[in-house]
Amino acid sequence: MLTVLSIVLGAINMFERILSNDSHYLVFERNVSDLFFSSVPEEAVEEIRKLEMVEAANPILFGLVSTEDTPVITCFGITNDDPRLDDAEWIAGDRALFGTEPQTIYLGSRAAEFAEVELGEEVPVGNDVFIIGGILKLENGFENGGVFMPLKLAQEFFSKEGYSSIVAVKLTDTELGEAFKKRVEADYPDLIALENEEFSQSYSQFKILSATAWSVGVCAFLLGGMGVANTMLMSVFSRIREIAVLRVCGFSKRQVGTMILGESFILAIFGTLAGFVFGFIALRLMSGIPQLNGYIQPVFDAAILAGVALVAFFTSAVGSFYPAWRATRIQPAEALRYE
């Protein structure tokens, strides 16, 4: 469960950081199921830029491209003044030349490693061939495994001339957020402006991913619960005579039940700790696999760990209830005859 949650929530976190890079608000098309389908017209971007309360507005066009070796690579169409170009470590190429040379694209370092390409090489992408103009090392796994194109080139490539997917907006003062939101929505009824945090909470894809992760995790725990129940039931059956002896020695039904529940909790504690350790190791190993293009950036926060521990204990309690009940029903005389 920890592994699944960490991967999915890590992915959500990475995607949030792509969107919110040095910005306060995101502007995108209203009522789209996925940002890949959002279209914000260039005129809107220009008008937003001109607003007094806006310090910067950076359009981004998302797209998916494929190469011979990799069927799906995220492509980011960005402008020359996008802050991530300055934040990145340029392993190869010249930052100043971004967007000045024709048919030139820029690769995240993991994407370059995986494609085994170097600066100046030609790479086929989709039906076109591009020249590698630079290799960037970025903190974000999605970006590091992605392709960057100057916005105009991306618009041509994806046949979305004059549009971007979103606009990341940085305000002069965050207090002006509500005013900015109202202004955008008044001027462009087809667009919506959401504060980054608000966006993360309301974006349906994040909700689906998160719900899926929790569902898979809970299923994993139900299996775990059955495992605990099975283990404890086996333990009760194999110790039927021992339990009878305890009853003969004066143990009450409650004491026997408590003993079995206690053993289950100890099993749950060690199981949870072992799960944390193995999950952590698995995530570390997966995040180092080049084929995953660095997409896995696990997130371990206290809430996840506490949630997982809580579900583990709840599952073990439910899973051990039946074996404990069975143990209390053992009739000493009958059990002592049991071989």
Partner 1 sequence: MSREFENRNAPTIIKVKNIHKGFDNGAIPVLKNVTLTIKEGDIAALWGSSGSGKTTLLHLMGGLDTPDSGTIDVAGLDPTAESDRLALRRQKVGFVFQLHNLIPDLTLKENCLVTGVATGTPKSECIERFQVLAKELGIDHRQDRRIQELSGGERQRVALCRALMHRPKIILADEPTGSLDEKNGELVFEILKQLARRENVTIVMATHERRFADACDRIFQIRNGQSFEI
Site for partner 1, rule CB under 8 A:
241-242, 244-252, 255, 331-334, 336
Q: What contacts 62, CB < 8 A, 6 or more positions away?
A: 35, 36, 74, 75, 76, 77, 165, 166
Nearer to partner 1, 80 or 252 (CB): 252
Size of the chain in residues: 339
Nearer to partner 1, 12 or 256 (CB): 256
**What's the one-letter identity of residue 14?**
M
Nearer to partner 1, 71 or 250 (CB): 250
The rounded distance, in Å, linking the Cα atoms of 298 and 301 is 10
Nearer to partner 1, 181 or 253 (CB): 253
R_g over Cα of the chain: 28
Nearer to partner 1, 128 or 242 (CB): 242
Helix (H) or strand (E) holding 130: strand 128-137
Nearest to 114 by CA among 75, 66, 64, 70: 70
The rounded distance, in Å, linking the Cα atoms of 169 and 41 is 15
Smallest gap from residue 322 Cβ to partner 1 (A): 22
Cα–Cα distances (Å) from 113 to 61, 124, 133, 136, 194, in that order, read: 24, 16, 15, 11, 36
Smallest gap from residue 234 Cβ to partner 1 (A): 16
How far is C-alpha 199 from the chain's CA centre? Answer: 15
Smallest gap from residue 337 Cβ to partner 1 (A): 9
Smallest gap from residue 320 Cβ to partner 1 (A): 20
Strands (E), 66-127: 73-78, 89-93, 104-108, 122-125
Strands 163-164 and 104-108 turn out to be unpaired
Smallest gap from residue 293 Cβ to partner 1 (A): 52
Smallest gap from residue 335 Cβ to partner 1 (A): 9
Smallest gap from residue 245 Cβ to partner 1 (A): 5
Nearer to partner 1, 317 or 335 (CB): 335
Smallest gap from residue 239 Cβ to partner 1 (A): 9
Nearest to 59 by CA among 146, 160, 185: 160
Nearer to partner 1, 170 or 239 (CB): 239
30 close to 187: Cβ distance less than 8 angstroms:
no
> Around Cβ 181, how many Cβ atoms within 10 Å?
17
The distance in angstroms from the start CA to the end CA of the chain is 40
